[in-house]
Structure 1
């Protein structure tokens, strides 16, 4: 099991400086990664994940950087590839793309919504294009949603392959995750209640294997205090990553910084 922090960029954490403070403390305390939500709007405002992770990249040397998760249909694939490549270069190869379809309440109010099957089709068409561009390829493509005519976006890869972790809890999301590098499962709600426990994760990991997945990362989130046994139970169920969820309803910035500074729950 490896350990990261998950930052919900609402409230105090719309400010990248607050997130950088957490990330710097996390690296010092032995955490392995930071994940930042990618939402377009929320009451009180939202933070931009790409600017925030870029700021984190220049203040850390070891943490993996990921979005948890990016609604792929919101972005033009070539522009998302360009952003990912720049962040990967800035961080010297520490980026993982958390990818999903997005949720109606985030997409619809700003005109980005579409039927779930359309968003799924867009995502499945976009992800191979993004990875090809990140590899430095010149791409010609004519698909249902995207076109490219001899387009090169990135000069070449920074890391051999930017991992893609797929978010979502449906069977379709698991099938998609089995084709990529990992699955990111949301396990709690805003009141810190566990909605998807270790037993359910074990069932879903079995489903992943049934879809022919080679060993992939399985990430879960939750809230703990140092020494908590819950992450170990998820590890026994097949999870490979624990993300400590940090958000305003959990406590003050001082309290959350103290939790991060205390280190992973091992």
Structure 2
């Protein structure tokens, strides 16, 4: 199993976008595997694909992923084009992960699709993206999208790109098995991940598919100080019945222990998300690297 440790910003983004270059440089310089940006149209976070494109031009090694990008409400042809372009410019470092979108109405309205239609749109869009990467003159007459001999260039470096999916609901896990190449869990404990993985694998097997055992990962938010009450309340709403510390390890020793627990249940791609923005990204990432990067294999 190849353990890799990356870094993300979550939906909060940065207080000062001018420091984004500092973060990217520190990730590359301190040996982190990847950068993951989340999508929040109505929040402070940078557009993830724009941010990853910036990072691509500033680095040579760092992999570049979304955690996650909303698919319903986007035309598959444009999504295929932007990700193939990023993959080419980064020389094969693109790692798209897609989701249905945020349930908050203020966020959902930006995508222009009815909530009840999101799953159907997603299920049609993702296979189309794969076809547009692989084929020329794509013909498609579906419920949501129609193409007549549409060709999209450039093609990805290897002819296609692995697509991971997010999600926590059983229906989302089954969709990951049917359509995805990997699962990026969020606000799931190691025990939750161990329970969710068979759901994905069974759904994949039912479609005569198999998910690469290396393609299971988790977002891991961490803190250096006590978890604020406001966050505890939000976490309780997201995952009732769990203590906040079950989802957010406090201190680097606790973070290391939690990462080991994920690895023990077969989740080898781990994305660290700091609860608070540090004064110095280089110092923060040097501390993190010293504490956990030896877990990489």
TM-score band w.r.t. shorter chain: 0.7 to 0.9
Whether the 8 Å CA contact 1:20–1:52 is kept in 2: the answer is no
1:146-225 pair list within 5 angstroms: 146-179=145-178, 180-187=180-187, 196-211=188-203, 212=205, 213-216=210-213, 217-222=215-220, 223=222, 225=252
Secondary structure of the structure 2 residue equivalent to 1:82: helix
Residues 136, 156 of structure 1: 8 Å contact kept: no
Shift of 1:138: 2.1
- Aligned partner of 1:18 in structure 2 is 19
Tell me, yes or no, if structure 1 residue 260 matches structure 2 residue 285. Answer: yes
Question: TM-score normalised to the size of structure 1?
Answer: 0.86
TM-score (norm 2): 0.78
Q: CA deviation at 1:218?
A: 1.1
Which runs of structure 2 are paired with 1:14-163 in the superposition (5 Å)? 15=17, 17-42=18-43, 45-105=44-104, 107-110=107-110, 112-116=112-116, 118-163=117-162
Rate the CA distance shift 1:14–1:49 in 2: closer, same or farther, 3 A.
farther
Query: Pairwise CA RMSD of aligned residues?
Result: 2.1
Can you give the 5+ residue segments of structure 2 that lack an aligned partner in the other structure? 223-250
Question: Relative to 1, partners in 2 of residues 1:218 and 1:70: Cα closer, same or farther, differing over 3 Å?
Answer: same
Q: Could you tell me which of 222, 234, 239 is aligned with 2:262?
A: 234
* Paired positions, count: 251
Q: Unpaired runs of 5+ in structure 1?
A: 188-195
Q: Alpha-carbon deviations, 1:181-208, whole Å to 9, x = none? A: 1001112xxxxxxxx2111111111222
